[in-house]
Amino acid sequence: MARIPAGPPLDGLKRQIARHRNGNPARSDGLFVRETFRLDRSHARQKAQEWFDAWPKAAYWTEVESWRQLDGDEIEFTMRRLPSAD
């Protein structure tokens, strides 16, 4: 039976990822403003609509970046937009 060679050690990579995450807890890449919400379905729709009304998609690239349904009728979602329309 052939042995599968061991891959490279990942300890250094894991430390680098942890340092990056600790230094950037809000995933701030400098380009987008992000905010995560956890609301029931009707309030989640309202909150997303508030974002689109305040920061129109065409100017701010506003979008629902990610979402997932939790227990019951609760939705967790992240809104993303540019900080300005310049």
8 occurs within a structural domain: no
Q: What's the pLDDT at 41?
A: 96
Domain presence at residue 21: no
DSSP string, the chain: -PPPPP----HHHHHHHHHHHHH-TT---SS-EEEEEEEEHHHHHHHHHHHHHHS-HHHH--EEEEEEE-STTEEEEEEEE-S---
In terms of residue numbers, what domain contains 83? 32-86
In angstroms, the CA 5 to CA 9 distance is 12
CATH number, position 70? 3.30.30
pTM of the predicted structure, to 2 decimals: 0.64
43 lies in a domain? yes
Whether residue 14 is contained in a domain is answered as no
Closest to 52 (Cα-Cα) out of 24, 15, 80: 80
Give me the pLDDT at residue 84, please. 87
In a domain, 11, yes or no: no
- Residues 12-34 have a mean pLDDT of 71
Mean of the pLDDT values across residues 15-31? 66
Mind listing the pLDDT tens digit for each residue in 29-77?
A: 568 999 999 999 999 999 999 999 999 999 999 999 999 999 999 999 9
Structural domain contains residue 74: yes
